[in-house]
Amino acid sequence: MFKILFLLFIVIPIIEIAVIMQVGAILGAWPTVAIVILTAWLGAKNVKQQGIATIQSLQNKMAQGEAPSDEIVAGLLLLVAGVLLVTPGFVTDIFGLSLLVPQCRKLLINSVRSHLTVSNFGTGQSFSFHSQSFNSQHQGHTAFDNESPGAGEKLHKGKTIDGEFERKE
């Protein structure tokens, strides 16, 4: 986690400053500032348009009773794109603009979907959570571990409960 924060708050701003200085040396200070402001404005405008389309698609899927998982991830990626585009700099603008390209977003959505899919959960398989303590001498386990029978194992014995519900308002 420290490496990620170090990258976000130290390395990326240094790279941005270096790139802005290089572009400023070539184009001049005011054209560079104008380009940074223009990319932020155009990026925010595109994020707004694509965000509205994503919300409409999310509402349509929910109205049809489908799970809108792709739209939720797309909305999150659009939020990240908006933050990257509003952040002053050329490197973050490139990453933000790449997230506005639907094909790039679709690749990332498919990648996220492959990591979030849990297979065979109903067959008794379980997952475990390992964390290191401050002294790094033992690891913590959750109640879902196979080694520690607890309330977690009682939750998934492979039986499915099927039923119907009716909303009364």
From first to last of the 169 residues of the chain, give the pLDDT tens digit: 788 888 888 888 899 999 999 999 999 999 999 998 998 888 888 888 888 888 888 888 888 888 777 888 888 888 889 888 888 889 999 999 899 898 998 998 888 777 665 444 454 443 333 334 344 444 444 344 444 444 444 454 556 666 776 777 7
pLDDT of residue 139: 44
- Written in H, E and C, the secondary structure of the chain is CHHHHHHHHHHHHHHHHHHHHHHHHHHCHHHHHHHHHHHHHHHHHHHHHHHHHHHHHHHHHHHCCCCCHHHHHHHHHHHHHHHHHHCCCHHHHHHHHHHHCHHHHHHHHHHHHHHHCCCCHHHCCCCCCCEECCCCCCEECCCCCCCCCCHHHHHCCCCCCCCCCCCCC
Q: Sign of torsion, CA 89 94 96 97? A: positive
pLDDT of residue 151: 45
pLDDT of residue 144: 41
Q: 10 Å Cβ neighbour count for 100?
A: 20
pLDDT of residue 161: 67
- Domain parsing of the chain, residue ranges: 10-113
pLDDT of residue 129: 34
pLDDT of residue 157: 54
Are the beta carbons of 81 and 96 closer than 8 angstroms? yes
pTM above 0.75, yes or no: no
Q: Sign of torsion, CA 97 103 109 111? A: negative
pLDDT of residue 140: 42
